[in-house]
Every structure is written in C-alpha cells, then in structure tokens.
Amino acid sequence: MSTRVEQRNQRRKEVVEAIVIRQEPVHLVARIFHIPQRTIFDWLSLYRSGGWDALKEKRRSGRPRKASADDMRWIYYVVTLGNPQQYQFDFCLWTLNTLRALIERELGIKLSKSSVSRLLGHLGLSPQRPIYKSYRQDPRKVEEYLSKTFPKAVQRAREVGADIYFLDESAVRSDAHRGTTWGEIGETPVVRNSGGRFGLNVVSAISTRGDMRFAIFEGGMDSARFIGFLKKLRKDAGKPILVVADNAKYHHSKATQRFINEQDGGIVLVFLPAYSPELNPDEQVWNHAKARLGKRSIFNKDDMRRHLTSILQSIQKTTSLIRSFFRMPDTYYIMNAMA
C-alpha cells in the first residue's frame, strides 16, 4: 500500500475517532480537517456498516449499509437542530423510541432501539440532561449582558485588581427527590410527604481559578445575610472583588446598595439578565451538591447539614471540577471575556 493511501486511511480514521470516540461536533471536525460535512457523514456510514476496516480504500467490508450518508446527515440535523414537536410528536425530548419511529416513518429504515443508540453514538451524540430556559427571558437583555455588561465588568475588575466571583443561593429541602429509590419492577415507587419536612439555605461563590466559598444557614436569605457573606468573601480574597449575581430582591435592596456604596469600590455588584440561571456557573455547584445529597441517608436536619457540608467541602477541594463549570456552552462566554 502506498504512503499516500496510508495517509488518507489514517486521516479518515482520525476524523471518525474525533466524532465517535471524543464526541466532537461534526461541524467543528469539518472545519478543523477542512473536509465537507457530506464526506464526513459518508465515512461515518462506512464505519457504522463495517468498522475501521470499512474506511480503508479498496478494503471496504461489512454488511450492507442500512443508513446511508444522507440518512445519517438527516438524522444528525434532526436531533441537533429540531425537536420532536416539529415532527408531530407530543413529547418535547428525543428518546430512542421517538427517533426509532421517526426514522422508520421518514426514511423507511427499521432499526432496533440498540441500533438507534449505536447510530447516535457514531454521530457523536449522547443522552444529556437538557437545560430549560424560561419563556420570560429577554434575548435582547441577554445579548446586552454578553456583549457589553460583562466585558465592561471584566475591564473594571482588571483596572482595580479585583477578583471576579459568581454567586448564587439555593434551598435544600428534605422533600426534594433528586435521587433514585428501589422498588418493585414495573411499579414506580411513590414517596409520600409526611409533613415533617425540613431544609437549609445555602449560598456560594466561585471564581475561574477554582476558588469557592460557601455558607449554610437556617431561615430565609435576606439583605443582612447577603451583606455578611459579601464581607467574608471580601476578607478572604484580601483584595477588591466583583460579584456577579442574579436579581433577587435583597441583591437590590436599599440596605445592600448602601453597603456597596460604603465600600468605595472594594465590592462591586454586577447583575445577570433576568431569568437566565444558565449563565451563572455557580448553578452547577447546586446541581452537583443536590445530586450527591439525594444518594445519602438523611434522617434529620443535623444529618442534612453534616452531609451537605461534606459535599460542599469536597466540591471546594476539587478545583478542576469548579473550573469546568466555566467551560460549559452557556458559561464559556466568561472565559472568552477574561482571555
């Protein structure tokens, strides 16, 4: 086999590996390798029918392809650009059964659920928990925040040597069911509320360096508690801080504004657009904490406080995890602005 053929075979393998194994988006791989997307889908179809050998020139083997390159391209764009309701399905999420029915209806291809799952994997797609955005979110306010408000805040922080923190509060309740429970096969367990529920309130702040500060308290969050947390955050930082937060009432209260004005630039508040929690990386602290808490045995409020403290301390020590919260699709704007 000539060197050129080997190079072409290796290139095909690298392209398919980027999508199938590393799950990089097709459009990004096409741009990096300077290859038309149509060609990539053809290679993916070959790989799906016969594995790595099928990609080699003049050595294509394997069973006949059920899904052609055009079929795979159509499926990829259906999943990444559309939703089931556009195809007259009532459910708003793509499931294997929904896709299986759609592929048979639109392409005339009958696939098992496992085949559909493998096909999606070959396209670099995976099951993920969706992010729900509020219909009350104003796209213009979001764009203004992304293009003007936050970049200006970064510039201001640089001028005064301030650290930037993203802050968020959350409530943890004993009757919140985020984990799983054992039960009889075929029967969905029902967790009944005893009426004796209890909970704790928590606040945290994280930075792109992987720093994290948190506080756990009973009772509702108010201006006094918020100000107290800001004071401690400023003291721990040992320098000016710029804090990005949502639009909770106590963030805008007269007491809070009076406190901020007294800091002479030592503490600056910047506000996220309304109804835009996905823009705050600190939201992920609570997603992780509540998911872990749902797997712990909790019998009373003391148990909850002990477990929650342990979980938050664990997250606090895992700086790589905290930094990853800033590299999600909806939060990467932070890294771009601070680059």
- Tell whether the model's pLDDT for residue 186 goes beyond 50: no
DSSP string across 95-147: -HHHHHHHHHHHH-----HHHHHHHHHHTT----PPPP--TT--HHHHHHIII
Element (H, E) at 230: helix 223-237
Query: Which pair of tokens denotes residue 96?
Result: 């294997």
pLDDT of residue 130: 62
- What's the CATH number where 259 sits? 3.30.420.10
Cα 115 from chain centroid (whole Å): 27
Q: Per-residue confidence at 195, pLDDT binned at 50, 70, 90?
A: very low
Instruction: Indicate whether 261 belongs to any domain.
Output: yes
Structure tokens of 268?
A: 């600056």
Query: pTM of whole model > 0.85?
Result: no
The pLDDT-based confidence of 134 (bands split at 50, 70, 90) is low
Q: How confident is the model at residue 158 (pLDDT cuts 50, 70, 90)?
A: very high
Using pLDDT thresholds of 50, 70 and 90, give the confidence band for residue 64.
low
Same domain, 106 and 60: yes
pLDDT at 58 over 70: no
CB 289 within 8 A of CB 311: yes
Residues 85, 157 share a domain: no
- Compare 60 and 2 and report the one with higher pLDDT: 2
Amino acid in position 34: H
Is 90 exceeded by the pLDDT of residue 276? yes
Instruction: Look at residue 189 and tell me whether its pLDDT is greater than 60.
Output: no
Number of structural domains the chain divides into: 2
User: Model confidence at 181, in pLDDT bands (50, 70, 90)?
Assistant: very low
Average pLDDT over residues 149-164: 97
| One domain for residues 167 and 76 | no
CA contacts within 13 A on the Cβ side of 11: 14
Mean pLDDT for all residues in the chain: 85
Q: By C-alpha distance, which of 203, 227, 207 is closest to 164?
A: 207
Let me know if residue 131 belongs to a domain.
no
Q: Which amino acid is at 85?
A: Q
What distance lies between CA 49 and its chain's CA centroid?
32
Q: Are residues 173 and 315 in the same domain?
A: yes
Give percent above pLDDT 70 in the chain: 87
Q: Which of 74-78, 184-188, 272-276 shows the highest mean pLDDT?
A: 272-276
Range with lowest mean pLDDT among 106-115, 164-173, 230-239, 290-299: 290-299
Q: Do 260 and 299 sit in the same domain of this protein?
A: yes
Of residues 59 and 93, more confidence is placed in 93
Q: Tell me the average pLDDT across 290-295.
A: 81
Whether residues 37 and 90 fall in one domain: yes
**Domain containing 315: what range?**
139-178+197-338
| Residue 191 is assigned to a structural domain of this protein | no
The average pLDDT across 242-261 equals 96
Per-residue confidence at 174, pLDDT binned at 50, 70, 90? low
The answer to whether residue 175 scores a pLDDT higher than 60 is no
Q: What do you get for the CA distance between the two ends of the chain, in Å?
A: 46
Higher-pLDDT residue of 259 and 106 is 259
Q: Which two tokens stand for residue 69?
A: 């390159």
Side by side, which strands form the sheet with 163-173? 212-217, 199-206, 163-173, 241-245, 267-271
Q: What's the chain's Rg over C-alpha atoms?
A: 25
What type of residue sits at position 57? E
pLDDT(337) > 70: yes
Residues paired with residue 217 on neighbouring β-strands, in sequence order? 201
Same domain, residue pair 163 and 219: yes
Pairing mode, strands 199-206 and 163-173: antiparallel
CB of 15 within 8 A of CB of 33?
Answer: yes
Residue 217: φ, ψ to 5°: -150, 160
Q: Is the pLDDT of residue 25 over 90?
A: no
Report the relative pairing of strands 241-245 and 267-271 from DSSP bridges.
parallel
